[in-house]
Amino acid sequence: MTEKSMYLPDECWELIFNSFDNDRHFEFPSLVCHRFLSITNQLRRTLTITNQVVHSLHALLRRFQNLKEIEIRNFMGDLDSLLFEISQFNLDLESIDFSKHKLFPCLGLRELGPKMRNLRVLNCSNVRFLQDSDVISIGFAFPFLEELDISYPNYSDSYCPDGLYSSPRCLSECHVTDAGIVELSLKLPNLRKIILSGNRFVTDKSLASLLVNCLLLEEIGVRDCDFITQKGIGTVLRLCPNLSSLSLNRVTVPCADSLFEDSFAFAKNLRELDLSHSSANDKLLCGLAKAYLPLKKLSFSCCRNISCAGTSFVLYNYRFLAYLDLEGVRFLSDEILLGLSMFLQNLTFINLNFCSKLTNLAFFTITRSCPLLSDIRMERTSLGTQDLPMDFAVNNKVKSLSLSANPNLGDECLKKIAFTCPNLQVLDVSRCPRITDEGISEILSSCCEIRHLEINHCIGIGNFIIDCQLPCLEVLRAQGPVINDGVLALLAERSPGLLHLDLESCVNVTTTGIKKIVANCIKLREINLKWCNNVSLDIVAWMVFSRPSLRRIVPPRDIVSSESRRNFFLLHGCFVDDSGRKPL
């Protein structure tokens, strides 16, 4: 084949690279040639900024000029300064996420705002000491914002941002209140989504201001908002014509007042409804069922007052549901689930966690009756009890199973699950003590597409055999004494694409096994060796220099090292994370 016949125009290569499911897959094609490097640079849309990349941030921002989304994660430095540096580049960002940071970066956003006029999404959830002034500054900085998440701000029990002990006055000043939300709503006329969950001083007044000033509003989240009432929610359902998603909990629904129940009939565009941990009852379910909404996603998680009859009525009227969450629903049993399954033909996700009455029959019922299911969650149930059915229906759609903490789940049931779900990609069977090497070996042999496996603290596993290639395996979490050097040697040989390896407390692993993994897994990005006491500390420096792909290492024990040594590792692109460690 001639060189000319192998040529493809850049547009074709862009189509090929855009077929990748994640930007991180651009890394290896970019090393092939300067042309691929140039193409992937132009296609890169997202960037995650952590401590280990801060030293090269200037070069990264200059290199990726078409970035649209930036996520700031596990960053311990000055967030205001970081946002100021981002603002110096001619980027056209659409989304910024700096959730879980210590303080709100008011100065940084003020600098960033005028230069990011197309920013549409801002996530600052779990930020410490969020106040009205911070919320108002968001409105000033980004007047065209469409999605805002200010959920679950993290407040200290004893201190305010200035370090003073809390007082009633200090508490009112250090929280988000109606005053802040009212002012915010006046500045964001294009707002389509707002998550207020966890802001405990917000009341129905905030909802009223959002309805009046944000006429395009489609999604509202008010979970754990103590002063939001059923009257306020009823008003939203009646007066928000574009409402497509509503998430709430702990909203008291008085039995004698039908306002809330009747309000569902007005929400003609509602597609997602989350009533988790609410006092929803059968009367409310009756009103919901009679509304005939275009619901696709429904959650009754931990709703203690609903019955089988009420739930059946809802599911009978909403047979096109794709997502159903029944976690912790007490009445659910194998027989009841069997009856409900005839209404669940279109489900792609179901959550049955903490439904303690569900056994093997429940699992194989839903895999047979729900042909589109891709994600099943059955943690802390009675899976593994009762006899296994004699005939099994293969479900090729199931991709993810979360089955952790099922004390009765054993090898025989796991083998049948592997046969039933041959295209499984994600499996979590952590804390299932009856699973042994035989069961895990069967999973790896039968499910060749497995890419994410969690077997944390499975005390029955000791030395499972990997007798097949695992080209898709990217994540293995095996905390506790479930892995040894022999398994690591096979893993290194059969799983060259491994990205994340969690071996916390694997006391049977030694330096020899770790070296084999690091030497053979050329894409390895993260490894956790916390409390692997038979692994030498000297291996940390060896790993940093031997495997350039590594971005984060949790060492076996505390490393008493200088700041210059830590920064030296960072210069090589790897963050050695031994902060906040506790002794054994």
Q: What is the mean pLDDT of each run of 10 residues along the chain (584 residues)?
A: 56 69 62 68 81 81 88 89 93 94 92 93 95 95 97 71 46 81 97 96 96 97 92 93 92 57 92 92 92 96 93 96 97 96 96 97 95 98 88 92 97 95 97 96 94 96 87 95 92 94 95 96 94 92 92 82 74 75 37
Q: What is the model's pTM?
A: 0.88
Alpha-carbon gap, residue 25 to 36, rounded angstroms? 12
Is the Cα torsion angle 115, 117, 120, 126 positive or negative in sign? positive
Cβ atoms 249, 224 nearer than 8 A: yes
pLDDT at 470: 92
Give the N- to C-terminal CA distance of the chain in Å, as an integer: 62
pLDDT in tens, 367-421: 999 999 999 999 999 999 988 877 778 999 999 999 999 999 999 999 999 999 9
The three-point CA angle 10-15-16 to 5° equals: 95
Return phi, psi of residue 536, to 5°: -70, 145
Predicted local distance difference test score (pLDDT) of residue 583: 34
Q: What is the dihedral of CA 263, 268, 274, 276, to 10 degrees?
A: 30
Angle at 551 between CA 548 and CA 552, to 5 degrees: 130
Distance CA 443, CA 422 (A): 9
Are 211 and 239 in contact by the 8 Å Cβ rule? The answer is: yes
> pLDDT tens digits for 454-510?
999 999 998 888 888 999 999 999 999 889 999 999 999 999 999 999 999 999 999
pLDDT of residue 581: 45
For residue 21, the model assigns a pLDDT of 63
**Contact assessment for residue 153 and residue 129, using Cβ atoms and an 8 Å cutoff:** yes
Q: What pLDDT score was predicted for residue 461?
A: 93
Residue ranges of the domains in the chain? 11-44
Tell me, what's the pLDDT at 5?
41
Average pLDDT of the chain? 88
* Residue 404 confidence (pLDDT): 98
> With contact defined as beta carbons under 8 Å apart, do 461 and 433 qualify?
no
How many Å apart are CA 51 and CA 458, to the nearest integer? 33
Measured between alpha carbons, how far is 374 from 397 in angstroms, rounded to an integer? Answer: 5
Q: Determine contact, residues 124/149, Cβ cutoff 8 Å.
A: yes
